[in-house]
Structure 1
Amino acid sequence: MATFVLVPGAWLGAWAWEETVHGLRERGHSAFPVTLTGLAERAGQGGPQTDLETHIADILDLVERHDLREVTLVAHSYGGAPVTGAAGRLGDRLERVVYVDSAPFPEGMRVLDLMPPETVAELGRQVAGAGEGWRLPMPPLEVVGLTSSLDGLDERQRDVLRARATPQPYGTYTQPLAGPVEPGAGVDRVLVACHDFHALLEAGVPELAALTQPPWRRFDLATGHWPMLSTPGELARVLDQAVS
């Protein structure tokens, strides 16, 4: 059986993985959902100093505190940035990385580098105006990501997402990812592509071309950007399949 460490995307906490964790544990796996500093029940621990290195340290701390071995490290969305950093530092504790509607980050990249300049400028205004200079409130769901992001979320699930989301420490977006970022050569590499990411892969985005080739293995999920909320049981099944 596998040992999963599940890292959520921006604005989320360990709560987002609850049903997927239940599905994994039912299948006999160990599952450790992470809440990163400054988010959810750890919102009070964040501050202007909270950055990407803070979130990488959160992941490393959980693995070391529980003395986890043969870890399957799962990243959703923004979680791809700290997971990439952690994967490069876990050494032989790491067996597998799984990116859910996400991808590994190259060394030196910022989360903001994925966005056009006008979006970056607008985020900066939101942080300055409503985030006390260091927090990014979650935008309205209708403007987050691509049109297909909300696929599979009913009104109840959308309400839960709105109600439980917490502002993201903005330093996690502005700090470049420091190395090392490459996991060991023998680490298994898995991509779970939902509608958003599937569209990018089909469009042939050059930066993602490597993810369509070995050693990467790919699983597709017919849902939007938050499969742990829209199809948590199916996500658990796919993760189980990926480690079997």
Structure 2
Amino acid sequence: MSTFVLVPGYWLGGWAWDEVARALRADGHAVHAVTLTGLAERAAEGGPQVDLERHVADLTGLLADADLREVVLVGHSGAGAPVTGAADRVPERIRRVVYLDSGPVPDGLAPIEQNPPELRAVIEAAVRDGWRYPMPSWPELAERGASLAGLEPEVLAAVAARATDHPFGALRQPLRLSGAGARLPKALVTCSFPLDRVRALIGAGHPWFAGMADPAWQLVELPTGHWPMFSRPADTARVLADLA
């Protein structure tokens, strides 16, 4: 059996993994569903001081405090950056890193830099109080390319109702990597974009995908929308268990 640490994307808390965690635990796995600083039940800890390094420290602190080893570290969407940072800081505790419709952030770049300049400007304009990045509407997210496939209206409403403003420092701060986690086994589970497209980007040397040509990477497709923990939770659990 395996130990999973599940990290949700922007605006979500550990609650986002409830159905996936239930399925994994039913099969005997240990599961830690993380809520990062400033989100969900930890919203009161938010503020302009919360940045990407704080979220990396959330993960490394959990691994150390609970003495977790041989961990399958899973990052969904915007959690790709803190997961990459944690794998770099404590690679000895990690068995595999899994990016769920996500990906690693290269050394020296900030998560917001994944977006074209015009979208960065929209994101920055939406920030409130200098640090609160509220969840856009579902139509806005769909316009940005985040597929809503498989999400029923009642699910969309429930998720939006529980969403938390995301600390903007976690998007703005560049990620610094030592390279210590570079050789860890990694997997990309692509959900909302075809695997053929990923392979084309790898072949073209795209800076955010080129590293996936390394044999340390495994590429898997789980066709659904950008939030597979809501649209296909049982299948998400199955894919994660298979990768472990």
* TM value normalised by structure 1: 0.92
Check if 1:193 corresponds to 2:194.
no
Verify the 8 A CA contact 1:68 1:93 in the aligned structure 2. Answer: yes
TM-fit CA distance, 1:180: 2.3
Which digits, 9 at most, give the CA deviation of each residue in 1:130-169, with x for residues without a partner? x211110001111215546101101111111111111110
Counterpart of 2:178?
180
Counterpart of 1:240?
241
Counterpart of 2:25?
25
Verify the 8 A CA contact 2:194 2:221 in the aligned structure 1. Answer: no
Counterpart of 1:12?
12
Once residues 43 and 213 of structure 2 are traced to their aligned partners in structure 1, the CA distance between those partners, rounded to angstroms, is 37
Verify the 8 A CA contact 2:195 2:220 in the aligned structure 1. Answer: no
Once residues 210 and 60 of structure 1 are traced to their aligned partners in structure 2, the CA distance between those partners, rounded to angstroms, is 23
Shift in CA distance, 151/181, structure 1 to aligned 2, threshold 3 Å: farther
Counterpart of 1:120?
120
Q: Which runs of 5+ in 1 are unaligned?
A: none
TM-fit CA distance, 1:199: 6.8
SS at 2:96's partner residue? strand
SS at 1:150's partner residue? coil
Once residues 43 and 17 of structure 1 are traced to their aligned partners in structure 2, the CA distance between those partners, rounded to angstroms, is 18
TM-fit CA distance, 1:215: 2.0
SS at 1:16's partner residue? helix
Counterpart of 1:171?
169
1:137 is matched with which residue: 111, 134, 138? 134
Q: Which runs of 5+ in 2 are unaligned?
A: none
Which digits, 9 at most, give the CA deviation of each residue in 1:29-57, with x for residues without a partner? 10101000001110100111000000000
Once residues 191 and 17 of structure 2 are traced to their aligned partners in structure 1, the CA distance between those partners, rounded to angstroms, is 16
Once residues 60 and 47 of structure 1 are traced to their aligned partners in structure 2, the CA distance between those partners, rounded to angstroms, is 20
Once residues 181 and 157 of structure 1 are traced to their aligned partners in structure 2, the CA distance between those partners, rounded to angstroms, is 39
Which digits, 9 at most, give the CA deviation of each residue in 1:86-105, with x for residues without a partner? 00011311111000011111
Aligned positions, number: 239
TM-fit CA distance, 1:212: 4.9
Shift in CA distance, 36/219, structure 1 to aligned 2, threshold 3 Å: same
Q: Match of 1:96, as an amino acid? A: R
Shift in CA distance, 199/230, structure 1 to aligned 2, threshold 3 Å: farther
Verify the 8 A CA contact 1:212 1:218 in the aligned structure 2. Answer: no
* TM value normalised by structure 2: 0.92
Shift in CA distance, 232/106, structure 1 to aligned 2, threshold 3 Å: same
SS at 1:149's partner residue? coil
TM-fit CA distance, 1:181: 4.7
Pairs within 5 Å for 1:1-244: 1-127=1-127, 131-144=128-141, 146-147=144-145, 149-183=147-181, 185=183, 187-196=184-193, 198=195, 200-201=197-198, 203-204=200-201, 206-207=206-207, 208-243=209-244
